[in-house]
Chain A
Amino acid sequence: ILNVEQSPQSLHVQEGDSTNFTCSFPSSNFYALHWYRWETAKSPEALFVMTLNGDEKKKGRISATLNTKEGYSYLYIKGSQPEDSATYLCAPNTGTASKLTFGTGTRLQVTL
């Protein structure tokens, strides 16, 4: 069973603040890391799939970096908006298996 840790568990920021959270995972047998955004009462929505050490992905104000050697990924949100309020999940997979092991997520709340 993969041990996936996300921190912090929850975060409360003001509109306009930039923020970041961490996903830690075992570096051995790493294949890919998936980031998802999960809004309350909706289903998880894919943000990024990252595979290469040093990889950086960007989607609007959200970006992510990956360090496969030390087993962590950072997700950054620049200039947080209330619509960014959601739980952000990371899920690594090992080998070529597509089965994902999700972390418990970082719950972000952005207030005006």
Chain B
Amino acid sequence: DSGVTQTPKHLITATGQRVTLRCSPRSGDLSVYWYQQSLDQGLQFLIQYYNGEERAKGNILERFSAQQFPDLHSELNLSSLELGDSALYFCASSVVAGGTDTQYFGPGTRLTVL
């Protein structure tokens, strides 16, 4: 158990809908990262927040947005969902935001868009 929690574990929804994925980082970690794992792709970095501020952006679609709240939990919002958004979404956290910081991964949320 990494100490990172994600809810829900599974989510099934329809195309065009909007969902919110939630992540609570390890106690004391200030940085939160979101990654997407699709069927035929590796782990793709989406976005990073550090202490409430956006720090880095990856291949995140405009239909997706995220935020980190004052209590440091983070939410990833996915809207106008398409079939291709079906994937495993991981949240990770680290103490600060340095390149040598170990990122601890949560259990993931499996999103299925029908």
Contacts and interface: CB of A to CB of B under 8 A. Distances in A.
Interface of A: 31-32, 34, 42-46, 49, 51, 89, 91, 93-105
A32 B100 CA distance: 6
Contacts of A46: 102-104
B97 interface: yes
A105 B98 CA distance: 23
A9 to B, nearest CB: 11
B102 A49 contact: yes
Interface residues of B, number: 27
A96 B98 contact: yes
B102 A99 contact: no
Given A43-B2, A99-B48, A34 B102 contact: yes
29 contacts: A31-B99, A32-B100, A34-B102, A34-B103, A43-B90, A43-B106, A43-B107, A44-B43, A45-B2, A45-B105, A46-B103, A49-B102, A51-B100, A93-B99, A95-B99, A96-B98, A97-B99, A98-B31, A98-B56, A98-B99, A99-B33, A100-B45, A100-B103, A101-B45, A102-B35, A102-B43, A102-B45, A103-B42, A105-B42
